[in-house]
Amino acid sequence: FAGLQNYVRAWLQADAAPYDIWEFSVLTRSSENARFEFIENGKKVCTDKHIARHGIQRLPSGQLEMSKYVCNYVGFGLDARVGFGFDKLRQNNRALNKGVYVWEGIKKLLFKKKGVIGHIVDSMQVLPSSSSIGAARDGHGVVDKPAPGDAPV
Protein backbone atom coordinates (compact mmCIF):
# COMPACT_ATOMS: atom_id res chain seq x y z
CA PHE A 1 0.00 0.00 0.00
CA ALA A 2 3.00 2.32 0.34
CA GLY A 3 3.15 2.81 -3.44
CA LEU A 4 -0.55 3.60 -3.63
CA GLN A 5 -0.24 6.04 -0.72
CA ASN A 6 2.60 7.83 -2.52
CA TYR A 7 0.48 8.16 -5.68
CA VAL A 8 -2.54 9.44 -3.75
CA ARG A 9 -0.37 11.92 -1.84
CA ALA A 10 1.14 13.17 -5.12
CA TRP A 11 -2.30 13.52 -6.71
CA LEU A 12 -3.66 15.44 -3.74
CA GLN A 13 -0.70 17.82 -3.76
CA ALA A 14 -0.62 18.28 -7.53
CA ASP A 15 -1.44 21.62 -9.09
CA ALA A 16 -4.90 21.77 -10.64
CA ALA A 17 -4.80 21.96 -14.42
CA PRO A 18 -7.69 22.49 -16.81
CA TYR A 19 -8.67 19.68 -19.14
CA ASP A 20 -7.32 19.69 -22.64
CA ILE A 21 -10.21 20.70 -24.84
CA TRP A 22 -10.00 19.98 -28.54
CA GLU A 23 -12.18 21.04 -31.40
CA PHE A 24 -12.65 17.96 -33.54
CA SER A 25 -14.03 18.36 -37.07
CA VAL A 26 -15.13 15.57 -39.37
CA LEU A 27 -15.35 16.21 -43.10
CA THR A 28 -17.03 13.89 -45.57
CA ARG A 29 -15.85 13.42 -49.12
CA SER A 30 -17.33 15.80 -51.70
CA SER A 31 -20.62 14.31 -52.81
CA GLU A 32 -24.27 15.26 -53.01
CA ASN A 33 -25.00 11.92 -51.33
CA ALA A 34 -22.68 12.56 -48.37
CA ARG A 35 -24.37 12.52 -44.99
CA PHE A 36 -23.85 11.75 -41.33
CA GLU A 37 -26.03 9.07 -39.80
CA PHE A 38 -27.32 8.83 -36.24
CA ILE A 39 -28.95 5.81 -34.68
CA GLU A 40 -32.50 6.55 -33.59
CA ASN A 41 -34.95 3.81 -32.65
CA GLY A 42 -32.56 1.25 -34.13
CA LYS A 43 -32.38 2.96 -37.55
CA LYS A 44 -29.67 5.07 -39.16
CA VAL A 45 -31.14 8.51 -39.91
CA CYS A 46 -30.16 12.14 -40.31
CA THR A 47 -33.05 14.52 -39.75
CA ASP A 48 -33.16 18.31 -39.78
CA LYS A 49 -33.14 18.09 -35.97
CA HIS A 50 -29.83 16.18 -36.08
CA ILE A 51 -28.34 18.70 -38.53
CA ALA A 52 -29.32 21.62 -36.27
CA ARG A 53 -28.24 19.94 -33.02
CA HIS A 54 -24.84 18.85 -34.33
CA GLY A 55 -24.13 21.99 -36.38
CA ILE A 56 -23.64 20.07 -39.61
CA GLN A 57 -22.77 22.36 -42.50
CA ARG A 58 -22.41 21.80 -46.25
CA LEU A 59 -19.24 23.49 -47.46
CA PRO A 60 -18.83 25.12 -50.89
CA SER A 61 -16.61 22.16 -51.85
CA GLY A 62 -19.60 19.81 -51.45
CA GLN A 63 -18.26 18.27 -48.25
CA LEU A 64 -20.24 18.10 -45.03
CA GLU A 65 -18.55 19.22 -41.81
CA MET A 66 -19.46 18.43 -38.23
CA SER A 67 -17.36 19.96 -35.44
CA LYS A 68 -17.43 19.00 -31.77
CA TYR A 69 -15.50 19.81 -28.64
CA VAL A 70 -13.92 16.83 -26.93
CA CYS A 71 -11.95 16.56 -23.72
CA ASN A 72 -8.58 14.83 -23.46
CA TYR A 73 -9.17 11.84 -25.67
CA VAL A 74 -9.98 10.88 -29.21
CA GLY A 75 -9.93 7.23 -30.21
CA PHE A 76 -10.45 5.44 -33.50
CA GLY A 77 -9.38 1.92 -32.58
CA LEU A 78 -10.84 -1.01 -30.74
CA ASP A 79 -11.10 1.00 -27.51
CA ALA A 80 -13.31 3.58 -29.23
CA ARG A 81 -15.53 0.89 -30.76
CA VAL A 82 -15.96 -0.84 -27.39
CA GLY A 83 -16.68 2.49 -25.67
CA PHE A 84 -19.22 3.47 -28.31
CA GLY A 85 -20.98 0.10 -28.06
CA PHE A 86 -21.00 0.40 -24.28
CA ASP A 87 -22.45 3.89 -24.42
CA LYS A 88 -25.33 2.71 -26.64
CA LEU A 89 -26.21 -0.12 -24.22
CA ARG A 90 -25.45 1.62 -20.91
CA GLN A 91 -27.72 0.60 -18.02
CA ASN A 92 -28.67 2.30 -14.74
CA ASN A 93 -26.90 -0.36 -12.72
CA ARG A 94 -23.15 -0.52 -12.03
CA ALA A 95 -22.97 -4.33 -12.11
CA LEU A 96 -24.95 -4.51 -15.37
CA ASN A 97 -22.71 -1.81 -16.88
CA LYS A 98 -19.64 -3.91 -16.12
CA GLY A 99 -21.28 -6.84 -17.87
CA VAL A 100 -22.18 -4.67 -20.86
CA TYR A 101 -18.59 -3.43 -21.07
CA VAL A 102 -17.21 -6.99 -20.94
CA TRP A 103 -19.70 -8.13 -23.58
CA GLU A 104 -18.85 -5.24 -25.92
CA GLY A 105 -15.13 -5.94 -25.51
CA ILE A 106 -15.51 -9.63 -26.28
CA LYS A 107 -17.88 -8.96 -29.18
CA LYS A 108 -15.65 -6.36 -30.81
CA LEU A 109 -12.45 -8.33 -30.21
CA LEU A 110 -13.59 -11.77 -31.31
CA PHE A 111 -16.60 -11.47 -33.58
CA LYS A 112 -16.52 -8.15 -35.42
CA LYS A 113 -14.44 -7.31 -38.48
CA LYS A 114 -11.59 -5.01 -37.51
CA GLY A 115 -11.69 -1.54 -39.04
CA VAL A 116 -8.78 -0.12 -41.00
CA ILE A 117 -8.05 3.47 -40.01
CA GLY A 118 -7.23 4.37 -43.62
CA HIS A 119 -10.80 3.45 -44.60
CA ILE A 120 -12.17 5.89 -42.03
CA VAL A 121 -9.77 8.83 -41.90
CA ASP A 122 -8.23 10.46 -44.99
CA SER A 123 -6.06 12.92 -43.11
CA MET A 124 -5.49 14.60 -39.76
CA GLN A 125 -4.14 18.07 -39.11
CA VAL A 126 -2.95 19.86 -36.01
CA LEU A 127 -4.18 23.43 -36.26
CA PRO A 128 -2.68 26.37 -34.42
CA SER A 129 -4.00 26.83 -30.92
CA SER A 130 -6.81 29.33 -30.65
CA SER A 131 -8.11 31.35 -27.75
CA SER A 132 -11.39 31.90 -29.58
CA ILE A 133 -13.09 28.77 -28.35
CA GLY A 134 -16.06 29.95 -26.35
CA ALA A 135 -17.80 28.03 -23.64
CA ALA A 136 -19.09 24.72 -24.92
CA ARG A 137 -22.79 24.57 -24.32
CA ASP A 138 -24.37 21.24 -23.51
CA GLY A 139 -21.51 19.42 -25.20
CA HIS A 140 -22.30 21.18 -28.45
CA GLY A 141 -20.06 24.20 -28.62
CA VAL A 142 -20.53 27.55 -30.19
CA VAL A 143 -17.37 29.14 -31.53
CA ASP A 144 -17.02 32.84 -30.91
CA LYS A 145 -15.49 35.12 -33.50
CA PRO A 146 -11.70 34.62 -33.60
CA ALA A 147 -9.68 36.99 -31.48
CA PRO A 148 -7.39 39.33 -33.45
CA GLY A 149 -4.33 37.41 -34.59
CA ASP A 150 -5.91 33.98 -34.09
CA ALA A 151 -5.77 31.50 -36.93
CA PRO A 152 -9.16 30.29 -38.14
CA VAL A 153 -10.18 27.04 -36.51
Cα three-residue angle 144-146-148, rounded to 5 degrees: 140
- Each residue's pLDDT, cut to its tens digit, for the chain (153 residues) gives 788 888 888 888 888 766 667 778 888 888 888 889 998 888 999 999 999 999 999 999 889 999 888 776 666 677 788 888 888 888 889 999 999 989 998 988 888 777 776 776 677 666 665 544 443 333 333 333 344 444 443
Cα 3 to Cα 7, 12, 14, 15, 16: the distances in Å are 6, 14, 16, 20, 22
Cα 62 to Cα 30, 34, 49, 59, 146: the distances in Å are 5, 8, 21, 5, 25
Residue type present at position 59:
L
- Identify whether the C-beta of residue 90 lies closer than 8 Å to the C-beta of residue 53: no
Which element (helix H / strand E) includes 26? strand 21-27
- 69-152-132-26 Cα dihedral, nearest 10 degrees: -10
* pLDDT at 138 (0 to 100): 36
pTM of the complete model: 0.42
Question: Which residues does 31 contact at the CB level (< 8 Å), separation at least 6?
Answer: 62
Going by C-alpha positions, the residue among 142, 127, 115, 135 that lies closest to residue 54 is: 142
